[in-house]
Structure 1
Amino acid sequence: MDYSQAAKQIFDAIGGKENLSAAAHCATRLRLVLHDEGKIDQAKLDGMDIVKGTFSTGGQYQIILGAGIVNEVYKELSKLTGIEEMSTKDVSNAGSKKLNPLQRFVKMLSDIFVPIIPAIVAGGLLMGINNLLTAQDLFIEGKSLVDANPNLADLAAMINTFANAAFVFLPILIGFSATKRFGGNPFLGATLGMLMVHPDLLNGNSYGEALANGDIPYWNILGLEIAKIGYQGTVLPVLVSSFLLAKIEVTIRKITPSSLDNLLTPLFSIFITGLLTFTIVGPITRTAGNLLSDGLIWLYDTTGFIGSAIFGLAYAPIVITGMHHSFIAVETQLLADLAKSGGSFIFPVAAMSNVAQGAATLAVLLLVRDAKLKGIASAAGLSALLGITEPALFGVNLKLRYPFIGAIIGSAIASGFLAIFHVKAVALGAAGLPGIISIKPGSIIYYIIGMVISCAVAFIVTIILGKRAMKKQG
């Protein structure tokens, strides 16, 4: 492959050096920040065999090339543009300047939660394995695998401990990531998270019971009573406290002599933030977080299959805007408080949307004759079934439109079906075929039926709409 020629064609298609502000690449995509995306020659890019798809999100124009290929093309593109190699974070920061306030807020949440997703997913999948071992009637009538094989009990207990770790100490993960994102020392952020789940505090999961019994412990500081309550499994309190920590740290550093900076800045940053967390920020944000969770649960329970169907219809369009990243914070809170929420209704809907996009993309294989599009559709369709939809969405479905319509119809019907049987996830994972392991054991059969419905409806509607579209084109 002539990477130099491919880079030159891409360079010309994006409007040349004058239109390029920043450039980087990830594992499969060129990630570009352009001054004016209206200058892109989309037809030229679409006609290139090396280009598997394109899309615009978060202020970036991304060109899907594939693993290995993108590295070589980026090297040649750098020679043409003269732009020094940048990290994806640098490009992301450059692209964020083009976003509106809401988009910047969503990007902020994404920057905080995306880095900790592997830890949450690992814990979630382990939780799913534990559910497979301990759920009754899943494999054996009236028994769990542990009941039938008592020698598995300790294995299940160990897996459960491993699974809970990320959620029990969630404030530490969020504190590190959020403080780093807000411009503070991430290790101070982790320390703040540790402070919020310290074993000397009343476990936050026991707060409701202790409140009812009047057993809440307090610090008495010069007549001021401060509740000694932990924040296990919470999201909002540590987010706000991390923001305060970063700003307090930066402010103190500015007014502290450099000779005393390493001593005084961490000391006062942690003490002041910790005091604010337990007196003001924590109690208020704990209540706000509970209200948010209760509101979402109420909305889901009240609107039932209609609300779930609307959410399923809208999920893929939300993905296009990038706003689905804001759901991570909500899902994390729902999963951290399974006793109240019963699990996350967002994950099953996301899975229905993803497999519908995959099925619609695979339907395109039966409708088109273009060899390049067939190649993209086959790989992208399988990827979407496994939970990665960007290649399918931006490389095939949005371009042709009719498969996108077929997919959101399939997603809507399947999501409504899941709501009827109250299908929820008790862990995060790959929102697609592998997501079975993340579903509440008693609902797995309905989840599988939902995926079949989603795929079948999306596939059939795409075929029908595709044939109509081709007839109109002559």
Structure 2
Amino acid sequence: MNRASVEQIVHALGGKENILTATHCVTRLRLVLKDESKVNHEDLNNIDLVRGSFSTNGQFQVVIGQGTVDKVYKEFVNITGVGESSKEEVKDEASKKMNPLQRAVKALADIFIPILPAIVTAGLLMGINNILTNPNIFFDSKSVVDVYPQWGDFANIINLIANTAFTFLPGLIGWSAVTKFGGSPILGIVLGLMLVHPDLLNAWGYGEAQTKGDIATWNLFGLEIEKVGYQGQVLPVLVASYVLAKIEKFLRKRIPDAIQLLVVAPVALLVTGFLSFIIIGPITMNLGGLITDGVVYLFDKAPIVGGLVYGGLYAPLVITGMHHTFLAVDLQLIGTIGGTFLWPMLALSNIAQGSAALAMMLVTKNEKVKGLAGASSLSAYLGVTEPAMFGVNLRFRYPFIAAIIGSAIGGIVLATNLVKASSVGVGGLPAFFSIIPSFWPVFFIGMGISIVVPFLLTLVMGKFANRKEVEVKRSISQ
């Protein structure tokens, strides 16, 4: 890394006067620019340090790589004179450029991204438990635990650890959502755990209890409120967290500092708690049920359409950042029907992007692109697609199209067979750990399609693209 390369980055971004704020994450420079149309994408992506670039949610991001990005950022600040900004400051500046829909999508992303490590870890552990406890994987009509009972307690502990994140999911969401909305994180945790308190009827047993007419209730001033928990539910805690944060902020501005500890938190939690059980919970639970029923109906009545649309459009959704909204739907489906048929298609989309990038190693003659394609394809196969998608596939367009076609075909195969994942895990080759074992054969067929089709299509389209480039150069020379 040298100063000249960083100066080239600044120049390609439209000069230091075009840069409003700057920060960085583990692999990328995260910038807010005055005018993104001034960016020279070709020059920027041809700089040795740069592995790709893209714009999302009002931020222009330059992919540099782990470790190197720290050194680049320090030199970047020295050259541009832009003060070191926090990620929150950059996000706030970027949000000024967004429309209401983009702000809503960004809010969901900011809520769910911090809890992803817990959810993905739980998904992987549940996959290991599935392998140990499901029959017909290694033995006919028997599981590993049936054949080797000594592994039973080991599997049971794994299941307990894995289920914790999903059982207390409202606690995780409450912490992240209240933090995002400007309230106290600890109150968000309490709110989320309150919605899954052991004294409440387990949400998964609600249907059976409703059929039997055996649901305990509170009698509040003539109102009968069902004592129901919200395990595995997303919408109730999201809305309740927003209300809690607003009430807390309202009170903090008006209550003297000397008595804030005695007034703000108790009043905020008390009011939000009553609203949650009386209004927010019942309404949002029904709304969540409608969303779940709508998705299930589509994939039940028109699975080809569902698989084609979601399987094909997931990668374009990543570009816009709207893919984060579907994590909430996945979690809602898992909590309601015990599995999601959306997430398996996400895994195939990631694999398809990796295969298209891998094929570019053979297609391109540019040594830098070869290296980037190889490294980014491995990353995509392990569930992180940004380097492959923004650094290679979108840059040349036809690999991205090939990946979408492969992912859409794989999505149709999964959707027509209603392949489900019992949890959200690593969205790449290890994804089968999260798939319900009875669906493994079909999922592996879909995985094969997502590996082979994009790879072959990229090779074919790359050959035509290279031939056309040669013909253009030949005609110019003549």
TM-score normalised to structure 2 length = 0.96
Shift of 1:267: 1.1
The C-alpha deviation readout for 1:24-62, integer Å capped at 9, x for no partner, is 011111111101011112222122111111111111111
SS class of match (2:160): helix
Shift of 1:145: 0.2
Distance in 1 (CA, whole Å) between partners of 2:29 and 2:216 is: 55
Where do residues 259-338 of structure 1 align in structure 2 (5 Å cutoff)?
259-337=258-336
Shift of 1:222: 3.4
Distance in 1 (CA, whole Å) between partners of 2:91 and 2:299 is: 34
Distance in 2 (CA, whole Å) between partners of 1:226 and 1:291 is: 21
Distance in 1 (CA, whole Å) between partners of 2:384 and 2:122 is: 20
Shift of 1:206: 1.7
SS class of match (1:429): coil
AA of the residue aligned to 1:442: S
Distance in 2 (CA, whole Å) between partners of 1:225 and 1:182 is: 31
- Partner of residue 449, structure 1: 445
- Partner of residue 79, structure 2: 80
SS class of match (2:454): helix
Equivalent in 375, 379, 384 of residue 388 of structure 1: 384
Distance in 1 (CA, whole Å) between partners of 2:465 and 2:116 is: 40
Question: What root-mean-square deviation, in Å, do the aligned CA atoms of Structure 1 and Structure 2 show?
Answer: 1.3
1:399 and 2:398 aligned? no
The C-alpha deviation readout for 1:55-99, integer Å capped at 9, x for no partner, is 111111111111111111110111122222222232122212211
Distance in 1 (CA, whole Å) between partners of 2:214 and 2:100 is: 43
Shift of 1:424: 1.3
Bigger mean CA deviation after superposition, 294-303 or 105-114: 294-303
Shift of 1:299: 1.0
Where do residues 99-248 of structure 1 align in structure 2 (5 Å cutoff)?
99-248=98-247
The C-alpha deviation readout for 1:138-191, integer Å capped at 9, x for no partner, is 111111000000111111111111111111111111111111111111111111
SS class of match (1:24): strand
Shift of 1:113: 0.7
- Partner of residue 459, structure 1: 455
> Is the 1:425–1:439 Cα contact (8 Å) retained in structure 2?
yes
Equivalent in 400, 417, 422 of residue 418 of structure 2: 422
Distance in 2 (CA, whole Å) between partners of 1:219 and 1:417 is: 48
1:469 and 2:465 aligned? yes
Bigger mean CA deviation after superposition, 365-374 or 235-244: 365-374
Shift of 1:463: 1.3
> Is the 1:11–1:77 Cα contact (8 Å) retained in structure 2?
yes
> Is the 2:95–2:103 Cα contact (8 Å) retained in structure 1?
yes
Distance in 2 (CA, whole Å) between partners of 1:11 and 1:334 is: 45
1:408 and 2:404 aligned? yes
Shift of 1:334: 1.3
> Is the 1:414–1:451 Cα contact (8 Å) retained in structure 2?
yes
Shift of 1:12: 1.5
Q: Which runs of 5+ in 2 are unaligned?
A: 472-478
Distance in 1 (CA, whole Å) between partners of 2:62 and 2:411 is: 31
Distance in 1 (CA, whole Å) between partners of 2:96 and 2:299 is: 35
SS class of match (2:29): strand
Distance in 2 (CA, whole Å) between partners of 1:464 and 1:425 is: 33
SS class of match (1:233): coil
The C-alpha deviation readout for 1:236-273, integer Å capped at 9, x for no partner, is 00100111001111112222222211111111101111
> Is the 2:303–2:415 Cα contact (8 Å) retained in structure 1?
yes
> Is the 1:358–1:392 Cα contact (8 Å) retained in structure 2?
yes
SS class of match (1:67): coil
Shift of 1:472: 2.1
Identity of aligned residues (%): 52
Bigger mean CA deviation after superposition, 282-291 or 204-213: 204-213
AA of the residue aligned to 1:121: V
The C-alpha deviation readout for 1:300-319, integer Å capped at 9, x for no partner, is 11111232022211111111
Distance in 2 (CA, whole Å) between partners of 1:95 and 1:51 is: 22
> Is the 2:177–2:241 Cα contact (8 Å) retained in structure 1?
yes
Shift of 1:192: 1.0
Distance in 1 (CA, whole Å) between partners of 2:309 and 2:438 is: 24
Distance in 1 (CA, whole Å) between partners of 2:432 and 2:193 is: 33
Shift of 1:349: 0.8
> Is the 1:386–1:433 Cα contact (8 Å) retained in structure 2?
yes
SS class of match (2:362): coil
- Partner of residue 350, structure 1: 346
> Is the 1:184–1:245 Cα contact (8 Å) retained in structure 2?
yes
SS class of match (1:366): helix
| Alpha-carbon distance change, 135 to 471 in structure 1, aligned in 2, over 3 angstroms | same
Distance in 1 (CA, whole Å) between partners of 2:160 and 2:16 is: 54
The C-alpha deviation readout for 1:318-360, integer Å capped at 9, x for no partner, is 11111101111111111223xx2x5111111111111111111
TM-score normalised to structure 1 length = 0.97
Q: Which runs of 4+ in 1 moved over 4 A?
A: none
1:37 and 2:36 aligned? yes
Shift of 1:129: 0.8
Bigger mean CA deviation after superposition, 198-207 or 22-31: 198-207
AA of the residue aligned to 1:404: F
1:375 and 2:374 aligned? no
> Is the 2:310–2:408 Cα contact (8 Å) retained in structure 1?
yes
AA of the residue aligned to 1:429: G
> Is the 2:30–2:61 Cα contact (8 Å) retained in structure 1?
yes
The C-alpha deviation readout for 1:90-145, integer Å capped at 9, x for no partner, is 21222122111111111100001110111111111111111000110011111100
> Is the 1:6–1:73 Cα contact (8 Å) retained in structure 2?
no
> Is the 1:134–1:146 Cα contact (8 Å) retained in structure 2?
yes
Distance in 1 (CA, whole Å) between partners of 2:42 and 2:299 is: 43
> Is the 1:22–1:34 Cα contact (8 Å) retained in structure 2?
yes
AA of the residue aligned to 2:23: A
Shift of 1:453: 1.1
- Size of the aligned set, in residue pairs, is 470
AA of the residue aligned to 1:421: N
> Is the 2:381–2:428 Cα contact (8 Å) retained in structure 1?
yes
1:5 and 2:4 aligned? yes
Equivalent in 421, 428, 434 of residue 432 of structure 1: 428
> Is the 1:21–1:35 Cα contact (8 Å) retained in structure 2?
yes
SS class of match (1:30): strand
- Partner of residue 256, structure 1: 255
> Is the 1:305–1:418 Cα contact (8 Å) retained in structure 2?
no
Distance in 2 (CA, whole Å) between partners of 1:244 and 1:73 is: 41
> Is the 2:19–2:82 Cα contact (8 Å) retained in structure 1?
no
